[in-house]
Structure 1
Amino acid sequence: MGQRRRVALVTAATEGIGYAIARRLAKDGAHVVLSSRRQANVDRAVSTLKAEGLSVSGRVCHVGNQEHRKTLVEDTVTRYGKIDVFVSNAAVNPTTESIREMSAQAVDKLVDVNFKSAIFLYQLVAPHMARDGSIVFVSSVTAYNPALPLSLYATCKTALLGLTKAVAQEMAESGVRVNCVAPGFVPTKFSSALTATEEMTDMLKGQTMLKRLGTPEEIAGAVAFLSSRDAAYVTGETLVVSGGMQSKL
C-alpha cells in the first residue's frame, strides 16, 4: 500500500496506536509529520523513527489549543506544500465517573479533545488536502456501546462515526476520502487501566471472537489501508478492528 511522495499528518503520534500509525505510513513511503503535546516525546519519536531510515518530522501540538492546531497545519503546509493524509488520533479520558456525576471541567476536556479538536483540525486541513487525499478519524469500538467506566469518552467516539459520514459528503467533490477506524481493546499506556490485572485482561479477551487483544500495528494496518489507493472507492465508512467484538449501534 504505497504512500511514496505523500505527506501524512498524524496527531498524538509519539506512542501507542498513534506512533504505530506514523511508523507504518512512513514505512509505506510517506513523509510523516507527527505531533504530540510534549516536545521531549516528539523528539524521542522522531529520533527513533529516523534511526530506522524513515522520513519523519515532528511538531508540538495540544489539539485542544487553537493556536497549536493552527501552527501545526500552517507549518506542515509551508514546509511541504500539501497534506495527502490526515489522521486524527488524539484522545483523553481524565475520569471514570458517570456522565451524571462528571464535573463541567471534565466534560469540557473530554469533548474538546475527543470530538471538537477533530472538527477544528478538519477545518484547517481541508483547504490544503491534495486531490486523492485521505482523512481518517480514530474512534473506538466503545462507540457502539458507551458504558461505564468510559461513558463520555465513548460517547465522543460515537460522535466521530457521524462526523465521518458528514465530512465524507463535504469532501467528496474535492476527491478526498474520509473514513474512520474503530479499534478494539489494544494494550497501550493509554489503556493500561483496562488491563491492570489478568482477570480484567481475560474479560476483555472473552468479548472478542478471536479471544485475544489487538496490537497497535494491527490498527495501523487498517489506517494504512484506508489512506491508500487500495481503498480508492471507500469513503464515509468505519472499519471496526476489534477481533470480532459487538459493533452495532
Structure 2
Amino acid sequence: MSADQYAFEDPTKKFADITPKAQYLEGAGTDEELSSSADHGEETYRGSGRLEGRKALVTGGDSGIGAAVAIAYAREGADVAISYLPEEEEDAQRIVGLVEAAGRKAVALPGDITDHDFCLDLVAKAVEGLGGLDILVNNAGKQQHVEEFLDLDDENFDETYKTNVYAMFWITKAALPHLAPGSTIINTTSIQAYQPAPMLVDYASTKAAINTFSKGLAMQLAPKGIRVNAVAPGPIWTPLQPAGGQPSDALPDVGSQTALGRWGQPAELAPAYVFLASGESSYVVGETLHVDGGMPTP
C-alpha cells in the first residue's frame, strides 16, 4: 500500500495485494461483498486544502469512484453530500463516517436517481444540508453486460439510460440555479465511450452521450464562469463490476488489456476529480480526462 497518493513507486505493481476473483453480486452490490476489497484512499489520500470551504454533491458516493471522490473532497476541505440506493446504506454510512472524520459535514441522501422527482429533491436537500452547492459530480452509473444484442430488453436499456444520462440531465438542470461563477460540474464517462465492448452496447452508448453532453454544456456554461469537464475511467474495481457489469469468470483477468496490465482502483481516480474541481484547472473546459491505465483513445 502506498504511503499516500504522492508516493514514488512502480505503477504496474501498485495494489498487487488486491486480487479480484470470479464472483456475482445481486442488485447493485456493495463494497462489503467484494471478493477483494477496493481501495478508496481510506488509508492513503492526503489532503492539502485544495477545496477548502467548497460544497459538493457526489452521486453514487457510497462506493467505488464516488466514495473515493467523497473521501478526497472531504480531506481537501469540502463538505460533501452523497446520493446512493437505499440498499447501499451500510456502505454510505461508512463514507459518511470518513467525511466526518476529516472534519467536514456529510449529508446522506438515499434514493433512486432514475426517478425524476427524486433527482429534484436530491439537489434541494443537498443545497439545504450543505448550505449551498458549487461542485456537482454526476458519477452514479448502471452497467449490465448482455452477450447477445437480441437479449438486450427494453427495460434494461431504459434503466441504463435513465441512470446514466437522464439523471445527469435532471440533476444538472436542478443544480444549475445554485451554481455561482467558479463552480464546477464533473461527469463520469468511460473508456467504453471510445472502445465499446460488444456486450456493453447500451452502457457504452450512454458514456458516449455523457461525453458529448459534457462538451456541449461546457461551451454553454463557460461564459457564465461555470466549468464542465468529464473523467473517463478504464477498468476500475468497484461493486458495479461483479454485480453484472462483467461476466463473473472474466473478473480475475479484467485490466490485463491495459498498458499497466491490471485493474485500476477508485483511489487512483480521486486526484483527477480533485484537480477538475479545484482552481488549479481554471483554464480546463470541456475536457475528458482519461484515467485508464493506458488504453489509447482518439
- Taking structure 2 as the reference length, the TM-score comes to 0.77
Aligned residue number for residue 295 of structure 2: 245
Aligned residue number for residue 284 of structure 2: 234
CA contact (8 A) 2:231 2:288 kept: yes
Letter in 1 for 2:211: L
CA distance in 2 between partners of 1:187 and 1:240 (Å): 16
Gaps of 5+ in 1: none
Q: Within 5 A, what are the aligned runs for 1:125-204?
A: 125-192=175-242, 194=246, 196-197=248-249, 200-202=251-253, 204=255
Report deviation, 1:48.
4.0
CA contact (8 A) 1:46 1:57 kept: yes
Cα 1:175–1:153 change in 2 (3 A) is same
Matched, 1:222 2:272: yes
Report deviation, 1:52.
4.6
Cα 1:95–1:186 change in 2 (3 A) is closer
Q: Within 5 A, what are the aligned runs for 1:33-52?
A: 33-38=81-86, 40-41=89-90, 42-52=92-102
Number of residues of Structure 1 aligned to a counterpart in Structure 2:
246
Aligned residue number for residue 22 of structure 2: none
Matched, 1:64 2:114: yes
Of stretches 25-34 and 55-64 in structure 1, the one that deviates more from structure 2 is 55-64
CA distance in 2 between partners of 1:229 and 1:43 (Å): 29
CA distance in 2 between partners of 1:203 and 1:70 (Å): 36
CA distance in 2 between partners of 1:111 and 1:47 (Å): 31
Report deviation, 1:100.
3.8
Higher helix fraction (1 or 2): 1
Report deviation, 1:43.
3.2
CA distance in 2 between partners of 1:101 and 1:147 (Å): 16
Aligned residue number for residue 152 of structure 2: 102
Q: Within 5 A, what are the aligned runs for 1:113-124?
A: 113-124=163-174
Q: Secondary structure at the match of 2:198?
A: coil
- Taking structure 1 as the reference length, the TM-score comes to 0.91
Matched, 1:80 2:80: no
Of stretches 221-230 and 145-154 in structure 1, the one that deviates more from structure 2 is 145-154
CA distance in 2 between partners of 1:203 and 1:43 (Å): 29
Over the aligned positions, Cα root-mean-square deviation in angstroms equals 2.0
Report deviation, 1:40.
2.4
CA distance in 2 between partners of 1:229 and 1:98 (Å): 45
Report deviation, 1:203.
5.4
CA contact (8 A) 1:98 1:151 kept: no
Cα 1:112–1:2 change in 2 (3 A) is same
Gaps of 5+ in 2: 1-48
CA distance in 1 between partners of 2:160 and 2:179 (Å): 27
Report deviation, 1:165.
0.8
CA distance in 1 between partners of 2:72 and 2:278 (Å): 12
